[in-house]
Amino acid sequence: MMSFGRITKGLFSLLALALLLTPATLSRAQESPDAKPEKKEADAFTSTVKMRFEGLMFVDATVNGKGPYNFLFDSGASMTILGEKLAEELAITLYDSPMPAQGVSTQEMKMAIAENVKVGEFSRDDLLVGVMNLDHISGELGKHMHGIVGQNMIKYMKKIHVDFSKSEMSLTRYKKGEGPQMDLQETMLKMMLKRGGKLPGMPGQDEKKEPRKDPKKDPKKEDDGKEEGFSVKPFSGEPAWLGDDKKTESRRKLEAMQFKYDHFKAMGGLVDVALWFMEAEVNGKKHTMFFDTGASTLCVLDKAAADALRLTPSYSYPVKGVGEAEASESVLETIKISNLTIHEPSCSIMDLGGVLAQLKQLGNDCAGIIGIPVATRYKSMTVDGESKLVKLEPYSDGETNEVDPAEQEEQQRKAAIRTWQGKAAKVEFKGESIKLDDWEALGLKDGGMKVTSVSGGAEKAGLKEGDIITAIVGEGEPDEKGVKGDAKVRGFGQFVVWACLQDPGSEFTLKVKRGKEVLSVKITLVAYGWQGTAPEKYRSK
């Protein structure tokens, strides 16, 4: 049976999806002055920074000269985001936003202007940013995510080169006189904010803070002042996004691949949605998708697009990112991008109506998202901002791909098929991750999941609402002697695919913290109980 420790990013499916169409998209062009050119550096310059790949790409960034802070590098975010705590610590003035952030669901957002945001030697001054609470992600990551590098930084990068084998990212900026001009929408909105924060139809500035002389502790550090990399290594020694600590070779030799992307312009160019829109064939039908480095699954289809393709949903699981939502899994016949064809891949189905509605109103019929796993099949990815071309270079014979997504995708696929066939199991409880800031007060070294509801056999076994599950005994990766350790638990999503890969009636022991007590509770998995008509190809025979 598949161990809990080998269940990977499909369980978390953290889709940042910070699709933030800036409020200025609703404004009239004649209400604004001519846009001024972006200030350019004198010469082109390439800098290389460390990139931490934990299922998604994280880099260090400085804000207003302070840092470094842990930022997600997200091509699916149209705006750069600061976490609320970071904005507070830096005493950044906040303004009301005329719309919430749209991601996996909606989430309240403020707006601000950062004096400077910098990654490596690439920086932007006077940058419009969104500000929102990112704490709900910290418990599963085991570290604070302080912000998101979005497209109002990314689109001003001349070239982005990511070497997955070296965990490095190289950023090239434009020479003087090159590159895109300052975004008209951003210019308009910043001007409105600087005039007192009065946006069309909004009450104006909401919070204005004076810079502190004695700021609080550095938000990138924990209470003990220490946070080197991820504060814990979930499961069996590897980041939660990777799961298996063994090096996984690609299943088949890949050829170099490239595909074009473009931004979406509407209203005569007044609206510029700077996402990476590209073409993908899903089950033989061409669809407009956008390539999102902030999506940890290969393919996410809007429910409407999935219904049009007559996809059958299988198991469901919670999704966290900008907001929280529910997704279900299915299996495609094929997905094709340029010369890459993937047969029978798993596919997430979500109601992306909130994310895509604005695009559809502007005439863009986007069906969903292509996530970072399309790139991690390869050794490196180069994004050329001038030609709008993404190039992916494969590993050579004998080289090992340590972040190949093939294994986790196969787990998700098997879980979906087992669910359709009535072979999958489930747990009789639900829960939510414990926020990182609460770990110390609760006496948690490696985090945990708070039980929010419990029923049936799990309740009879002694599990109670409010209990904190910290591990599953014997379901981690084996040590050098082949002895399995305990698998650390941080969120309910971890249980879903794992249980679907187990048989109903299987017994497992949970480590539970109840107040100051540490208990062992033995649970029995029950049948998932999926209802519906399975795809003919996958029906039990």
Task: Classify residue 352 as left (phi > 0), alpha (psi -120 to 50) or beta.
Answer: alpha
The mean-pLDDT minimum among 180-189, 433-442, 449-458, 495-504 falls in 180-189
Report how far residue 340's alpha carbon sits from residue 360's, in angstroms, rounded to the nearest whole number. 28
| pLDDT, tens digit, 9 for 90 and up, residues 110-159 | 899 999 999 999 999 999 999 988 887 888 888 889 999 999 999 999 99
Q: How many CA atoms lie within 13 A of 539 on its CB side?
A: 7
- State the Cα–Cα distance between residues 511 and 516, nearest whole angstrom: 13
Residue 531 CA to residue 107 CA, distance in Å, equals 32
Q: How far apart are CA 154 and CA 274, in angstroms?
A: 9
pLDDT value of position 87: 96
Phi-psi category of 199—alpha, beta or left, where left has phi over 0 and alpha has psi -120 to 50?
beta
pLDDT of amino acid 481: 84
Task: Delineate the domains of the chain, giving CATH numbers in brackets.
Answer: 15-237 (2.40.70.10), 257-419 (2.40.70.10), 422-527 (2.30.42.10)
Three-class DSSP labels, 409-466: HHHHHHHHHHHHCCCCEECCEEEEECCHHHCCCCCCCCCCEEEEEECHHHHHCCCCCC
2, exposed or middle or buried, with CB in 10 Å at 0-12, 13-18, 19+? middle
Say if CB 331 and CB 535 are below 8 A apart: yes
pLDDT value, residue 326: 85
Q: Are 244 and 233 in contact (CB under 8 A)?
A: no
Q: Closest Cα partner for 155 from 119, 177, 181?
A: 181
Give me the percent of the chain exceeding a pLDDT of 90.
57
Which residue, chain included where needed, has tokens 């393709």?
A: 309
Return the half-sphere exposure (C-beta side, CA atoms, 13 A cut-off) of residue 296.
26
Given pLDDT bands bounded at 50, 70 and 90, which one contains residue 196? low
* pLDDT digit string, tens, across residues 297-326: 999 999 999 999 999 999 998 876 555 678
Residue-level pLDDT at 139: 83
Mean pLDDT of 487-512: 93
